[in-house]
């Protein structure tokens, strides 16, 4: 399934773009730490299966790469000088415990693959990922700083889930299997990214307007 590999690759590229951008600008202005923290929670919850079964070398190495890239981004934003000095905690104030962690839990109780603990956790990670961009969206609307969030980053992250949807449709056409949790979560996620992209373009335009 080529679409799925394109999606995985785009996801990986998005981490690299963000790391390179932070290092290049030597700051993390405009970036939401809360969004990155939620991504780490997503991967830690979903990839518990690393200890449960083996899929492939590709699968295991990608999971480890996703976790380590996110840990590295978090390290840069929170601890590594000078990058961490520019973290704007005052603007990164979306109540993520109240709305994202709890909201995803409610969604996972409503839409899930199974009631077994692992399946519930897996479904929770799908919903958590779908909502993860909200603190970044909130921050972008608040400060309209797009220096670090390049269009490549937004594009790679947004398009990655879209490619997964294409991959699920492709899979459905071949086998007739459909995972409603993944599909619904993926649709919500893609819609939120489209919204994010919309505000991103507006901020980009207004920023350029001021400099002209």
Partner 1 sequence: QYVKKMHDEL
Question: Which positions lie near partner 1, rule CB under 8 A?
Answer: 4, 8, 11, 46, 49, 52-53, 55-56, 59, 62-63, 66, 113-114, 116, 118-119, 122, 164, 182
Tell the smallest beta-carbon distance from residue 52 to partner 1 (Å): 6
Tell the smallest beta-carbon distance from residue 194 to partner 1 (Å): 22
What is the CA 100 to chain-centroid distance, rounded?
A: 13
Tell the smallest beta-carbon distance from residue 160 to partner 1 (Å): 10
Task: Give the nearer residue to partner 1 in terms of CB position, either 3 or 199.
Answer: 3
Task: Give the nearer residue to partner 1 in terms of CB position, either 114 or 147.
Answer: 114
Tokens at residue 83, please? 């990058």
How far is CA 173 from each of CA 4, 113, 143, 178, rounded to the nearest angstrom? Answer: 15, 20, 44, 10
Is the distance from CB of 148 to CB of 23 less than 8 angstroms? no
Task: Give the nearer residue to partner 1 in terms of CB position, either 66 or 153.
Answer: 66
Closest CA to 184 of 131, 134, 137: 131
- In our burial notation (b when 16+ CB lie closer than 10 A, e otherwise), range 150-178 reads beebbbbbbbbbbbbbbbbeebeeeeeee
Tell the smallest beta-carbon distance from residue 63 to partner 1 (Å): 6
d(CA 22, CA 79): 13
Task: Give the nearer residue to partner 1 in terms of CB position, either 48 or 74.
Answer: 48
């Amino acid at each position: 399934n080529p679409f799925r590999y394109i999606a995985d690759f785009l996801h990986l590229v998005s981490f690299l773009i963000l790391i390179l951008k932070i290092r290049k600008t030597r700051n993390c202005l405009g970036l939401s730490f809360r969004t990155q923290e939620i991504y780490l929670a997503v991967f830690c919850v979903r990839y518990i299966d690393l200890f449960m079964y083996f899929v492939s070398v590709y699968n295991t190495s990608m999971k480890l790469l996703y976790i380590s890239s996110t840990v590295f981004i978090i390290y840069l934003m929170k601890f590594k000088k000078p990058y961490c000095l520019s973290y704007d905690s005052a603007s990164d104030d979306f109540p993520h415990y109240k709305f994202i962690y709890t909201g995803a839990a409610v969604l996972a109780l409503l839409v899930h693959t199974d009631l077994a603990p692992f399946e519930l956790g897996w479904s929770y990670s799908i919903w958590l990922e779908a909502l993860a961009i909200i603190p970044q969206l909130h921050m972008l609307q608040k400060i309209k700083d797009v220096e670090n969030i390049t269009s490549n980053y937004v594009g790679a992250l947004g398009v990655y889930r879209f490619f997964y949807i294409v991959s699920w449709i492709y899979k459905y056409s071949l086998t007739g299997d459909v995972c409603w949790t993944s599909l619904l979560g993926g649709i919500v996620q893609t819609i939120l990214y489209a919204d994010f992209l919309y505000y991103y373009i507006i901020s980009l335009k207004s920023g350029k307007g001021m400099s002209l």
